[in-house]
């Protein structure tokens, strides 16, 4: 297990299309986080899971966004009817409950044209 | 929304000089962490300081934390061109990390 993996690394899509990203966390970690980062800004929290339960969602996560972690392992983040404002880097991180350490993936860069 | 602010937003220094970045935050925290991000890449964890600690060192990195002022600083000593990156502080209040806006550091050879 070499860390947090995200797929794809890059995605270009037309406005109005749906996109789905995948995150594979470190296997021992029971917490999984999604962040969004726009150019020149720090990452902004979107949502997190503990095992398969989605425990918190940011107001940034509009109705067009949905995240799942069906078996408490990998997670998917889907954006429906993409808009140009969705263009950003989507970062996934994992951690173990009651541990300080977070490990981030390399991110998925989404460009909506 | 972002927890805090980082200062300066951008910093340009010569190789060999020291770089100091500051971070302020708003709420109580369990710990504060610093991350580095090269352009277009993911975040790399640098150092963590707990709320009951005041100073921590790791190699060329020195972090201080002042919980009474809700502020932290990251010092990189003897900087190298390879240190060129964005640096983010992130506070952990128990459930998630909340990031600042970052400092973009450029180290000129």
Q: How many residues does chain B have?
A: 109
Please give the residue that has the higher pLDDT: either B39 or B73.
B73
For residue B75, what are the contacts with CB-CB under 8 A and spacing of at least 6?
Answer: B18, B19, B20, B61, B62, B63, B64
Q: HEC profile for chain B?
A: CCCCEEECCEEEEECCCCEEEEEECCCCCCEEEEEEECCCCCEEEEEEEECCCCEEEECCEEEEEECCCCEEEEEECCCCHHHCEEEEEEEECCCCEEECCCEEEEEEC
Residue B4: the pLDDT is 66
Flag if A100 and B92 touch (Cβ within 8 Å).
Answer: yes
Residue B1: the pLDDT is 47
Q: Which residues of A touch B32 (CB under 8 A)?
A: none
What rounded mean pLDDT belongs to chain A?
A: 93
Q: How far is CA A58 from CA A47, B34, B37, B98, in A?
A: 6, 22, 23, 12
Chain A's closest residue to B31, CA to CA, is: A100
Q: Which residues of B touch A50 (CB under 8 A)?
A: none
Residue B69, chain A, CB below 8 Å: the answer is no
Per residue in B79-96, pLDDT tens?
999 999 999 999 998 788
Residue B65: the pLDDT is 98
Per residue in B39-58, pLDDT tens?
878 899 999 999 999 999 99
Residue A30: the pLDDT is 92
Residue B3's pLDDT band, with cuts at 50, 70 and 90, is low
Q: Are the beta carbons of A22 and A6 closer than 8 angstroms?
A: yes
Q: Would the pLDDT of A11 be above 50?
A: yes
Q: Are the beta carbons of B100 and B3 closer than 8 angstroms?
A: yes
Quickly tell me which residue has 């406005």 as its tokens.
A15
Residue A99: the pLDDT is 77
Q: Are the beta carbons of A25 and A33 closer than 8 angstroms?
A: no
Q: Would the pLDDT of A98 be above 80?
A: no
Largest CA distance in chain A: 41
Residue A106: the pLDDT is 94
Residue B70: the pLDDT is 96
Residue A101: the pLDDT is 81
Q: Residue A91 belongs to what H/E stretch?
A: strand A88-95
Q: Are the beta carbons of B5 and B100 closer than 8 angstroms?
A: yes
Task: Show which residues on chain A lie within 8 Å of chain B, measured between beta carbons.
Answer: 33, 35, 41-45, 48, 55-56, 89, 91, 93, 100-107, 109
Flag if B101 and A104 touch (Cβ within 8 Å).
Answer: no
Instruction: Pick the range with the lowest mean pLDDT from A73-77, A99-103, B16-20, B95-99.
Output: A99-103
Q: Nearest CA to CA, how far is B24 from chain A (Å)?
A: 14
Measure the CA–CA gap between B65 and A53, rounded to whole angstroms: 34
Across the interface, which of B31, B97, B101 has its CB nearest the CB of A41?
A: B101
Ramachandran class of A10: left when φ > 0, alpha when ψ lies in -120 to 50, beta otherwise: beta
Residue B40: the pLDDT is 79
Flag if B31 and A100 touch (Cβ within 8 Å).
Answer: yes
Across the interface, which of B30, B33, B99 has its CB nearest the CB of A42?
A: B99
Flag if B45 and A103 touch (Cβ within 8 Å).
Answer: yes
């Amino acid at each position: 297990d070499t860390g947090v993996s995200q797929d794809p690394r890059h995605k270009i899509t037309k406005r109005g299309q749906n996109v789905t990203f995948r995150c594979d966390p470190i296997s021992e970690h029971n917490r999984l986080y999604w962040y969004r980062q726009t150019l020149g800004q720090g990452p902004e929290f979107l949502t997190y899971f503990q095992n398969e339960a989605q425990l918190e969602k940011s107001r940034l996560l509009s109705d067009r966004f949905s995240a799942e972690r069906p078996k408490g392992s990998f997670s998917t983040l889907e954006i429906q009817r993409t808009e140009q404002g969705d263009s950003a880097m989507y970062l996934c991180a994992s951690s173990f409950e009651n541990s300080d350490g977070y490990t981030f993936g390399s991110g998925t860069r989404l460009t909506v044209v | 929304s972002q927890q805090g602010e980082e200062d300066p937003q951008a910093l340009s220094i010569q190789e060999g000089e020291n770089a100091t970045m500051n971070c302020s935050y708003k709420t109580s925290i369990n710990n504060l962490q610093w991350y580095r991000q090269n352009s277009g890449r993911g975040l790399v964890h640098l150092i963590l300081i707990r709320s009951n600690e005041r100073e921590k060192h790791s190699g060329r990195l020195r972090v201080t934390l002042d919980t009474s002022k809700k502020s932290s600083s990251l010092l990189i000593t003897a900087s190298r061109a390879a240190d060129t990156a964005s640096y983010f502080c992130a506070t952990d209040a128990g459930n998630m990390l909340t990031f600042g806006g970052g400092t973009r550091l450029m180290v000129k050879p």
